[in-house]
Amino acid sequence: MKIPKNAPIGVIDSGVGGLTVAKEILHFLPNETIIYIGDDARCPYGPRSVEEVKEFTMEMATALAKMGVKMLVVACNTATAVTLDMLRERFPFPVLGVIEPGARAAVLASTTGKIAVLGTVGTIKSKAYENAISAISEEVDIIPLACPEFVPLVESGQYKQMDIQPIIKRSLQPIAHLEFDTAILGCTHYPLLHDPIKEQLPVGVKIVSSAYETVRDVESTLSGLGLANISGNRNEPIFYTTGQLDGFTSIAIDWLGIENPDVRHIVLSNPGCQ
């Protein structure tokens, strides 16, 4: 089956975190249309079982496949860690995750070979970043840290409030005394907490987000497969959420700078839109 070049790119996440990836796609790939699904109603994925994450991710991917996407970007680290191979086997279009690009960027950024990985419980337990980094370089020391309180701060819209600093400080306390020169934001929600995280990390630590590197992979994959949209006729992005429209819309406006984003509700247990 031939995939149309002007077909949209599908982006999925457990909630609003994947908007950090969507923002980079919209900025760096101006000819590409995106359709986004955020599973806010069942977020966060980090504490959930592997079986649940697989089920929920497959529901989002199936919904996007029915909408005719030409590529799927799994903009959720937890979902990437446990579902990437399964999704690649299931669907005829290319499926990209965010872990390998983030790992690659961190190895390039680090000069000491000591890298901290901040992620959800599920991502940290999966050791996906350790495996991805080790595949690039066996001389890297990895310091993993689960930060389960971070995603709720973003999903609730509290990420811009000053009173979250004690929560950030408490979450990062276990690695405060350790030496590392690079920290991976191993969850796409975390870039919305970039500044408060930076304030609590040792001075000089480089912070790596996988979003930009992921878009480089998107661009090279589309080009390599002859799927890049060169017509310049991009449609406005469409955003679906399984949760409340108001909360998602507010964060989309703030983070993407889109005045009136097209945000719709979707029911994934019985794929379809309301």
**3-state secondary structure (DSSP) of residue 107:** helix
CA Rg value for the chain: 18
Let me know: does 97 contact 124? Beta carbons within 8 Å. no
Q: How far is it, in rounded angstroms, from Cα 258 to Cα 274?
A: 22
Instruction: Point out the catalytic residue in the list 43, 76, 147, 273.
Output: 76
Active site residue 147: no
Active site residue 273: no
Q: Which backbone phi and psi does 39 adopt, to 5 degrees?
A: -90, 55
Instruction: Name every residue whose Cβ is closer than 8 Å to that of residue 86 and which is 6 or more positions away in sequence.
Output: 54, 58
Nearest Cα to Cα of residue 168 among 215, 204, 130, 118: 118
**Terminal Cα-to-Cα distance of the chain (whole angstroms):** 30
Scanning the chain, the segments in alpha helix (DSSP H) are 19-28, 50-66, 77-90, 99-109, 121-126, 128-136, 150-155, 165-172, 194-200, 210-224, 245-256
- The bridge status of strand 262-267 relative to strand 272-273 is antiparallel
Scanning 112-239, the segments in alpha helix (DSSP H) are 121-126, 128-136, 150-155, 165-172, 194-200, 210-224
Residues serving a catalytic function are 76, 187
